């Protein structure tokens, strides 16, 4: 795995850390990604489009959502995706606005999951002194779950097809320019994979992920600020 190997070789991760990273990645693949896509579907249905319900996507059953290439990329690069939920913007009252809200629902669910994981990690940290060997690993596991969720949110907000950020462009760009861009969706997608493989996006994505992670960590720490 490219990401894990690079971290192991650089000394940033030990073998036990790598195992915990893999386990937390599997939690993301089989739980977080389904929640991400469910959030898209629920937002679309609430805004008037029944398409996700007809497609059977209003569920957290992972096998209705998993894209195996996207899942592999989570393990390889720390970033990935699931099968996009089908949406028909013509069913929305305000197609541009409602499409943007639907697109944002997925990354927002990742941020919420990350916040919950960090809150639980802070609870675990309160008891580490008494059960160090077990709880340190649980704390690290929860941290990785949070980090990968933030990574997914940041990655999916890149404004290029087929990521959620490209759907936000539909609210900002005139229809002519937006549909012209979407004609090249497949080529842009494979170009994105190439950039990930070559590591070109590592620095900007890591920087953005780190900034968001720091902010969420701060928020998650507020309830524990006065607990020693």
Task: Answer yes or no: are the C-beta atoms of 110 and 51 closer than 8 Å.
Answer: no
User: Residue 224 CA to chain centroid, in angstroms?
Assistant: 26
> Is 70 inside a domain boundary?
yes
> Is 123 inside a domain boundary?
yes
Spatial separation of the C-alpha atoms in residues 153 and 106, rounded to whole Å: 8
Place of tokens 């290439």: 69
> Is 23 inside a domain boundary?
yes
Catalytic-labelled residue, pool 13, 32, 34, 37: 37
Helices 68-77 and 185-198, interaxial angle, to 10°?
30
The domain tally of the chain equals: 1
Please report which residue ranges of 84-184 form alpha helices under DSSP H. 95-125, 132-156, 164-172, 175-182
> Is 182 inside a domain boundary?
yes
Whole-model pTM over 0.75: yes
Mean pLDDT, consecutive 10-residue stretches, the chain (228 aa), reads: 51 67 84 92 94 91 88 76 86 90 94 95 78 75 89 87 81 76 76 77 86 95 80
Nearest to 146 by CA among 106, 110, 122: 110
Task: Look up the domain containing 81 and give its range.
Answer: 2-222
Angle at 129 between CA 128 and CA 134, to 5 degrees: 45
> Is 165 inside a domain boundary?
yes
DSSP state of 93: S
Spatial separation of the C-alpha atoms in residues 159 and 169, rounded to whole Å: 7
Distances (CA, A) of 109 to 32, 123, 150, 214: 8, 21, 10, 18
> Is 84 inside a domain boundary?
yes
Confidence (pLDDT) at 130: 58
Spatial separation of the C-alpha atoms in residues 181 and 163, rounded to whole Å: 13
Q: Is 37 a catalytic residue?
A: yes
> Is 227 inside a domain boundary?
no
Confidence (pLDDT) at 104: 94
């Amino acid at each position: 795995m490219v990401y894990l190997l690079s971290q192991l070789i650089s000394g940033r991760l030990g073998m036990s850390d790598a195992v915990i990273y893999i386990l937390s990645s599997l939690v993301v693949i089989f739980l977080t990604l389904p929640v991400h896509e469910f959030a898209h579907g629920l937002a679309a249905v609430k805004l008037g489009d029944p398409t996700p319900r007809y497609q059977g996507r209003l569920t957290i059953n992972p096998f209705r959502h998993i894209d195996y290439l996207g899942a592999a990329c989570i393990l390889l690069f720390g970033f990935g995706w699931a099968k996009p939920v089908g949406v028909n913007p013509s069913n929305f009252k305000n197609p541009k606005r409602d499409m943007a809200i639907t697109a944002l629902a997925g990354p927002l669910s990742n941020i919420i999951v990350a916040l919950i994981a960090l809150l639980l990690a802070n609870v675990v940290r309160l008891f580490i002194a008494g059960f160090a060997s077990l709880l340190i690993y649980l704390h690290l596991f929860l941290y990785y779950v949070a980090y990968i969720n933030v990574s997914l949110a940041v990655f999916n907000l890149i404004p290029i097809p087929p990521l959620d950020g490209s759907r936000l462009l539909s609210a900002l760009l005139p229809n002519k320019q937006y549909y012209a861009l979407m004609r090249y969706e497949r080529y842009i997608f494979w170009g994105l994979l190439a950039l990930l493989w070559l590591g070109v996006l590592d620095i900007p994505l890591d920087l953005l992920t780190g900034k968001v992670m720091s902010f969420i960590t701060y928020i998650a720490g507020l309830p524990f600020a006065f607990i020693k």
